[in-house]
Chain A
Amino acid sequence: MATKSTNQKAWFFVVPVIILVAFNALIPLMTVVNYSVQETFGNNIFFFEGVKWFEQVLHSERFHASLLRQLSFTGIILAIEIPLGIAIALAMPKKGFWVSVCLVLMALPLLIPWNVVGAMWNIFALPDIGLLGRIINGIGFDYNFTQNPTAAWFTTILMDVWHWTSLVVLLAYAGLSSIPDAYFQAAKIDGAGAWAVFRHIQLPKMKRVLTIAILLRFMDSFMIYTEPFVLTGGGPGNTTTFLSIDLVKIALGQFDLGPAAAMSLIYFLIVLLVCWVFYTLMMKDEAQ
C-alpha cells in the first residue's frame, strides 16, 4: 500500500474561507451565544445567568403567540404559493417569443427590494387613497388593514404571494423544461390524460426543484421581517407581529439583550430543525 503523503501547508488554502466564515457567521453567532447566557447592565457589566433566558423565552406566552402567528403565516403562504406556482408554470408557453416575455414578467417582483415591496403595498392597500383599498371598499367590503386584523393578514399574505410566487414558478418551469419530449410522447401513446401526465411525469420530475422551492420559501417566510414591518408595523395591535418583528422589538425596543439572544438561538434552531426534517423526508424517497 502506498503511504499517504502529508503536507500541512495545505491548511493555508483553507485560511481565507475560515476567516470569511468567522467574520460573517461564527463571531456574530458566538456574540449572540454570549449574550444569551448573561445579564447585561450598562458600562459593559455582565452577570452569568446560565439557561435562565432560554427558560423564560420558552415559557413566555408572547413567544408562543408570535411563533404560532409565524407558523400560520408560513403554512398559509406555502399552501398558496406552491400550488399556484406549479399551475402558472404549467400554463406558461413551452417555446417561442412569449417564453422570454413570461420569464421577465415573472422575474420582476423578485427584483424589487423588500422595503419597497412593503411601501408599495402599504400605499396600494390604503383604504382612502390606495387603488386596492378603494376597490375592495368600493365593492362593499369594510377593508382597512391598519385597523382590522383580518384585513392586515389578508394584505400581508397577498403581498407575499405577489412577491414570491414567481420564485416557485421559475423553479417549477425549469423542472418542467428539463423533461425530454419522449416522456410526453410515450404518455400520449399510452393514452394518459392530462392528470395522469401531471401525476406520473411532471410532478415526479419536478420533485427536486420543488423541494428546493419549498425549503427556500419556508426559510424566507419564516424569517420575514421587512415587508410586514413596512406594511403593518406588526399591527394592528400585535396581530401581524411575526417572530423576527417580535425579536427586534425585544432586542432594540426594550434592550433586553439576554432574552433576545436566547430567542434568536431558539428561532435559529427551529428553522434548522424544520429544514433538516423536511429535507430528510423528501430525500428518503429518492434514496430507495
Chain B
Amino acid sequence: MSVEWSDGGAYALLGPSGCGKTTLLNIISGLLTPTQGEVWFGDENVTNEPADTRNIAQVFQFPVVYDTMTVYDNLAFPLRNRGVDETEIDQRVREIGDMLDLTETLNKRAAGLTADGKQKISLGRGLVRKDVNVIMFDEPLTVIDPHLKWVLRSKLKELHQRVGATMIYVTHDQTEALTFADQVVVMHEGTVVQIGTPIDLFERPQHTFVGHFIGSPGMNVLPCSIDNGRAMFAGQAISTVNSIAGPVTGRTEIGIRPEFVTFSDEGINVDIIKVSDVGRHNIIEVKHGEHSLKLLLTEGQDIPADGAHITFDPGYTQIYVDGWMAGGS
C-alpha cells in the first residue's frame, strides 16, 4: 500500500476489527518497525526512528494516565521528559487544560477522573507539545459513555480546526469516521481499498467491500454478465457509470446502493419479501429469482402491491470485476 497523509488533514482509518488499522497506526507512530516498506515524515525517512523522536502523539483505546500524578503533572510529563523550561510548561499546560475544559481538575489526582476525563488527559499529553507532527487516535471512544461520545467527538473536530495538527483517527464505526474525517481511508484484510471523502465512499465505492461496509444498509451487489461492455442483469441491459472495454476475466458484479433503487412501472420484476420500518425510512427487501436486494423508501412513499418493478439510477450504478470497480471512475 502507499498512503499519503497531507499536513493538517483530518483522516479516519476505517475497517473491521483485525484488518490491520492498529498495526498501520503503530508503524506510523514507531511503536512497530515494519519488516518492509518505509515511513516518511515530509522529506525525512523515519522508518527506523523510535517513537519518542518522531514527535507524534497517540491516544489509545483505553485511557492511559499516570495514576499517581495530578492532571497537571500528567499534562506536563511529556514536556518535563524533554527538559522544557518550567515556566513554558506551566503556560502550555494551562493553555491545553483550558482547551480541553480540564482547568478545574488540574490539581486533582488523575486516577480519580471518569473515563472521558482520562481520555482527555491522554489527548492533552499529545497536544501539549508544540512540535507534534501527527496525533493518532486508536478507537479512543470505545470506553466512553454513548452520550459523552458525541461531546468528545465534536471536541476533537473543534480541536482539529483550532490546532491544525494532522489527525489520524482509527475506528471500526463508520459514523465516527464519517463525521470526524475529511478523508477516510478504508482498510480491508491488510490493504487500503479506498481513500476518499465521505461522499466519495458513499457514491463511488471503489470496492464492493467499501459498498458493504459503509452505509446502512450496505450496497446491493448483484452478479451480472457482460455483453459488449455493458452489464446484463435479469435479462436486461443495465446502464452504469463505468463500462468495460475488451474481454473480461473474473467475477463481474453490479453494485447499487439501496438509496438509488426505486420502484417503477417497468424494469426488473421483483417480489417483495420484507418491509422493515427504521424510522424515517422503510427498508424493502425484494427478490428477483434467487437474487435479493434492498431499497430504501422515505416514509410515506407507496409500496406497490404484487407485480412490482424496480429500476436503478444509472448515475450510481457501477460494475465491479473481482470486487474492484471496473475501469476506475
Contacts and interface: CB of A to CB of B under 8 A. Distances in A.
Interface string A164-207: 00000000000000001011011011111100100011001100
B277 interface: no
A288 interface: yes
A185 B31 contact: yes
A205 B68 CA distance: 9
Nearest to B78: A190
B62 A204 contact: no
A210 to B, nearest CB: 14
A193 B64 contact: no
Given A180-B62, A182-B62, A186-B60, A191 B81 contact: yes
Nearest to A201: B66
A169 B196 CA distance: 53
Contacts of A183: 64
Interface in A115-156: none
Contacts of A196: 77, 81
Interface stretch (B10-18, B50-58, B297-305): B50-58
Which one of B31, B69, B112 has the highest number of Cβ atoms from chain A below 10 Å of its Cβ? B31
Given A204-B68, A205-B67, A288-B112, 14 more contacts: A182-B61, A182-B64, A183-B64, A185-B51, A185-B60, A189-B51, A189-B56, A189-B57, A193-B81, A196-B81, A200-B77, A204-B66, A204-B67, A288-B109
Contact of A191 (B29, B31, B67, B82): B82
B58 A189 contact: yes
B122 interface: yes
Interface of B: 26, 29, 31, 50-52, 56-58, 60-62, 64, 66-69, 77-78, 81-82, 109, 112, 122, 125-126
Contacts of B126: 189
A285 to B, nearest CB: 9
A190 B31 contact: no
Contacts, number: 56
Interface in A202-241: 204-205
A204 B77 CA distance: 16
- For the residues of B in contact with A, the DSSP-based class is mixed
A193 to B, nearest CB: 7
Contacts of B29: 185, 189
A200 B68 contact: yes
Contacts of B109: 288
Which one of B50, B61, B62, B67 has the highest number of Cβ atoms from chain A below 10 Å of its Cβ? B67
A150 B31 CA distance: 52
A192 B56 CA distance: 14
A204 B67 CA distance: 7
Nearest to B73: A200
Contacts of A288: 109, 112
Given A200-B68, A204-B67, A190 B62 contact: no
A204 to B, nearest CB: 5
Nearest to B125: A190
Contacts of A182: 60-62, 64
A192 B77 contact: yes
B68 A190 contact: no
A128 to B, nearest CB: 53
B68 A185 contact: no
B52 A191 contact: yes
Contacts of B68: 200, 204
Contact of A188 (B52, B69, B125): B52
Contacts of B66: 200-201, 204
A192 B50 CA distance: 12
18 contacts: A180-B62, A180-B64, A182-B62, A185-B29, A186-B122, A186-B125, A188-B52, A189-B51, A189-B52, A189-B56, A189-B58, A189-B78, A190-B52, A190-B81, A190-B125, A192-B77, A196-B77, A204-B68
